[in-house]
Amino acid sequence: MTQITKHFSLQEIISSGTASRLGLDNTPNEEQIENLKALCENILEPLREYYESRIIITSGFRSEKLSEAIGSSSKSQHCAKDGSAAIDFEIPGFDNRQVAAHIKNNFLYDQLISEYYENDIPDSGWIHVSFKKDGTNRKESLTKNKGEGYKVWQ
């Protein structure tokens, strides 16, 4: 198993049941691995240290074919191209909206989305975060609650 940072392996970031089921290659190239490493070093590793808890990646790297197969786009930051990368995750035992708020207030990121959160259900939904290693991060913050569209998170 190839570690790309202290607590994150390449395998856990590229693992995909859909890719396995459809026989799709979900192996990133060296540039994509560097983009994923930058995301882990700048967001996931500091989060893991802050919360002193493991992070469960629910959707990491996606090849262009995998991204399209699940109904997303080959332009998704999950494809880790153009200096950026994205990961969806949860931290067991912590409220996803509170973790997302911690990222929003303390980290440099490109896009942050608190997705499918349900009020009064702390472990609902997941967090999407992306990072651009060239420093052109927009700090775009959005929410998407169950049954609603994307909204700017003020």
Task: Tell me which residue of 47, 34, 9, 46 sits closest to 133, measured CA to CA.
Answer: 34
- Mean of per-residue pLDDT scores for the chain: 91
Domains of the chain plus CATH, in order, are 10-152 (3.30.1380)
Mind listing the pLDDT tens digit for each residue in 64-111? 999 999 989 889 999 999 999 999 999 999 988 899 999 999 999 999
pLDDT for 115 equals 80
* Helix-strand-coil split of the chain, %, nearest 5: 35, 25, 40
H-helix or E-strand containing 114? strand 111-117
Q: Indicate the pLDDT class of residue 125, thresholds 50, 70 and 90.
A: confident
CA distance 109 to 130: 6
Q: How many CB atoms lie within 10 A of CB 1?
A: 6
DSSP letters spanning 84-100: EEEEEEE-TTS-HHHHH
**pTM of this prediction?**
0.90
pLDDT of 120 strictly over 70 = no
